[in-house]
Structure formats: structure tokens, C-alpha cells
């Protein structure tokens, strides 16, 4: 492990160390990562950049990044000032190793939390335009308007790192799911690029919000005939 800034010093605005603070600030403004919760990781070849734990997400700087090797999660670059590695890290690496993703986003969005309170083992919704912004498995072909988006829901644990096994099990059981919801907690979403991970997170959050409103209004989110009907 080293504190070398070679990993985080770049004038390229698309460098992971520069992108992650921007994306975290964007998610903060949407109310997804308040109170230092949530996070994001971006893979760059054989290393992954991870936002630190316990930091105001709208105030993260490039030099706050942790850099880990993809093959064994060894820390090759750690920030100073006593920052801790994110407890989300093993969950991010599930997306890298199981799906081959290049980015994974974790939010504490109230829309996703509400969805986990109103659905049982999986969130389901169909016949909505925003479904077209989601990819099968988060990685391949886009879903269609007629497809049903299915996102598994796993139970929360007192320590976030203990979610790793349950998340991995859900990812294997639902190979077409673009993310995993965690009851009373939030969601993990991944993608083949940071842009697609971001877009899918936004689409799924929109669909969770819409699904919650539909269910509370007594409407089906997966109608038999393509029209919203009273159950």
C-alpha cells in the first residue's frame, strides 16, 4: 500500500478520481447519498477506484480515493487524514467479478427503500417507457417497453460488508437483473461503463418511485393487458 498521488493526479476530467467526486455530488443533490451514505466505484483496467467511507459525498476530492487491485482487493493507494475504506467495497467487487461490470453505484434513495417495503422477494414493473433505459443483467441488450423489469430484494444486515454473500446469491439467481435492492437500505446498480451504470440507476430509481405510487394508488405494476388496472 502507498499514498502516492500518481493514481489520482490527472487533468483528464474523465479520470475515475475526477469522475467519482462529480458523480457523488450529483447523487447527493438528488437526495440519494445524504449523511455520508452510499457510494460508487469505477474500474480502470486492473484497479478499481472507490469513494471513501464516512465522508460528505458532496465534498469528496480526487485525493480521497482508495485504489484497489481488481484481482484480490489489495489496497495500492490509500488517502490520508484517517479516511476509511468503504464498507460497500466487497459489494462493488461482486459486480466486477460476477457481472464483469466496470462501475457500480450504491444509493440510499427513499424510492428504492419504499419499494423494498411494499414488495416481497422482488420488485417488478412493466409497460413503462423508462424500462428501455435498463439492460439485461445491467450489461447487455436493453429491455423493451413490453419487458418486465425484475430486481431481487435481499434482507439487510447490521454490517454492510455482510451483504456480500446475499447479494452474490441474488445475482446468480437473477442473471438478468441490473441491480439488487436491499430492504430498508437502498440499492446496488452496475453497468459496462460508468455512464450506463449512472443511467440505469436513474431509470430504476424513477421506476421504483413510479411503482410505489402505483401500488399505493391500488394499481398493478405488471398488468396483464398493458393497461393499469385495479387488482
Residue 106, annotated as binding a ligand: yes
In the chain, where do the E strands start and end? 39-44, 47-50, 66-69, 75-77, 103-107, 122-126, 148-154, 179-182, 186-191
**Known catalytic residue at 202:** no
Cα of 49 vs its chain's centroid, Å? 15
Catalytic residue among 25, 129, 169, 195: 129
Confirm or deny that 2 is annotated as ligand binding. Answer: no
Smallest CA-to-CA distance from 57 within 36, 75, 43, 71 is with: 36
Please give the span between the terminal C-alpha atoms of the chain, in angstroms, as a whole number. 57
Q: Any known ligand binding at 88?
A: yes
| Residue 172 in marked binding region | no
Ramachandran sector of residue 100 (left: φ over 0; alpha: ψ -120 to 50; beta: rest):
left
Active site residues: 129
* Binding-site residue positions for Zn(2+): 106, 108, 185
* Binding-site residue positions for substrate: 88
Amino acid at each position: 500500500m502507498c499514498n502516492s498521488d500518481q493514481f489520482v493526479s490527472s487533468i483528464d476530467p474523465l479520470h475515475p478520481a475526477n469522475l467519482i467526486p462529480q458523480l457523488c455530488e450529483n447523487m447527493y443533490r438528488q437526495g440519494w447519498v445524504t449523511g455520508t451514505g452510499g457510494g460508487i466505484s469505477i474500474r480502470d483496467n486492473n484497479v478499481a477506484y472507490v469513494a471513501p467511507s464516512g465522508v460528505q459525498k458532496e465534498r469528496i476530492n480526487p485525493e480521497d480515493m482508495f485504489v484497489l487491485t481488481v484481482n484480490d482487493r489489495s489496497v495500492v493507494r490509500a488517502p490520508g487524514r484517517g479516511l476509511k475504506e468503504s464498507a460497500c467495497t466487497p459489494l462493488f467487487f461482486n459486480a466486477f467479478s460476477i457481472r464483469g461490470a466496470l462501475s457500480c453505484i450504491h444509493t440510499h434513495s427513499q424510492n428504492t427503500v419504499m419499494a423494498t417495503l411494499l414488495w416481497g422477494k422482488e420488485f417488478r414493473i412493466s409497460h413503462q417507457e423508462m424500462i428501455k433505459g435498463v439492460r439485461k443483467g445491467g450489461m447487455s441488450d436493453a429491455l423493451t417497453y413490453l419487458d418486465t423489469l425484475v430486481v431481487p430484494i435481499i434482507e439487510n444486515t447490521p454490517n454492510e460488508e455482510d451483504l456480500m454473500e446475499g447479494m452474490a446469491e441474488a445475482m446468480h439467481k437473477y442473471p438478468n437483473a441490473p441491480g439488487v435492492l436491499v430492504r430498508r437500505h437502498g440499492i446496488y446498480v452496475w453497468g459496462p461503463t460508468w455512464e450506463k451504470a449512472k443511467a440505469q440507476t436513474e431509470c430504476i430509481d424513477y421506476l421504483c418511485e413510479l411503482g410505489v405510487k402505483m401500488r399505493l394508488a391500488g394499481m398493478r405494476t405488471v398488468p396483464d393487458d398493458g393497461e393499469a388496472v385495479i387488482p
